[in-house]
Structure 1
Amino acid sequence: MSRVPGEPIWIELFTADTDRAGAFYGDLFGWTVEESGPELGNYALFLRDGEPIAGLMRNDIGVPDTWSVYLHSADAVATVAAARAHGGQVVVEPMQVADRGHMAVVADPSGASVGIWQPLEFDGLATRGEDRAPSWFELHTTGYAAAVPFYRAVFGWSTHEVSDSPEFRYTTLGKDDDALAGIMDATGHFDGQPSAWVFYVQVDDADATLARALDLGARRLPDTGPHDTPYGRLAVLADPAGVPLSLVGPNRG
């Protein structure tokens, strides 16, 4: 598969209760879990219709559970070096994962962690923009002025400025229908939450999916929809472990 430099290539859930996560996401999206052996650290895959859609890794180090986004790199070592040179911090040094690829994790200048994946045998997401699959990836940053040049220099992003008003500052990787991810100035939004990468799962009905998630033990978050937007009907919930999850479906208006 041809990849655009720096495009989102993988998502991964790091959680202390992988059994509960497997049951929740399986019931909600129909994802199944494929276990690996000790040679891959018992890393598991979420499969959508038999194809890889996300990673599932046990959190046994006592940090908060979280979803992570990985960006494509043709050279993980060089990308980590570039991150250091442009104000980033290295969270996980580059390492090879068997014959699958090379990975690393860095924090951008605003503190948002982002993964790096250099594929070998494993190319990442099997699909995006389809039902029950990630459709959009977005950095919410309190350091917008530093974040945009960071992703351009470190990951090779071809950036397009969508808006630069005090109310809404937004830049995308790619332009218009070819855009693959976005950077949003989160200053003054999201109740002062730290900078973070998020993704949206495409669903055919955001309201019904949210209702189902609540039945399965998720929690509704305040002021997070569902509500219609120019980009679809959005909702954000906390899964049973408290990890935020964003949904997007067709508008109702």
Structure 2
Amino acid sequence: MTKERWLQRRSEDPYWRMAKERGLPSRAAFKLEEIQRRWRVMPRGGRVLDLGASPGGMTAVAAEAVGEEGFVVAVDVEPLKLERPNIVFIKADVFEHRLVRELENVLKGGFFDTVISDLSPRHSGDYDLLVQQQSDLLARSRELAYRFLRRGGNMVLKAFEHPTLRTFERETATSFRKLERYVPKSSKKGSSEIFLIYLGYKGGVQQGLPVNIQNTCMPEKLTAVNTASTFRA
């Protein structure tokens, strides 16, 4: 597809136009808005981890949902296109070991109420490679959720339909009270995109990680963290 054709298709996209009118960084905001309206995955005053946050469409929705009493930690190798008092940005790739330490520094012993992942694999003509990248991103998102999600918290993962996805869903569902599969109305037509919405984390020992406890700690001061990265999802 030529750049001119791509720009034309984007300009004809009603969700892209609405995002521009509302000053939102991307149309992804509407996907999370749909999910939030239906399941209330992010509580007022809550703490949200947003993986693959750039340019910040979902981050903006999360920041509005939790309000001034809560905060959002946005993680990406690319910068956000918004700044708000209740957003902490960590420039990092999700596989970097330092990310865990940075998250611990922000939480100061606490936990997130919600983990969101909008991570996507690199574009490639190799289908098997794309499936492997998708599987790795989902597994890493789950690993971080098991480490930092409070008992009773929620996890929202973007995925793309592929043969091994159901296995991941079943394995992960045992750690949550309920799983919902959802395709937002704002998803592009013809896309294999789907959101896995896990509600009510049961906590406990997962993948050798410590038993989770209720989050009782808020960071005293929100500051941006910059972490070098070599991986782009």
Indicate whether the TM-score tops 0.5: no
Larger relative contact order (CA 8 Å, sep ≥ 6): 2
Bigger helix fraction = 2
TM-score (norm. length: structure 1): 0.29
Structure holding more strand per residue: 1
Q: What's the TM-score once normalised by structure 2's chain length?
A: 0.31
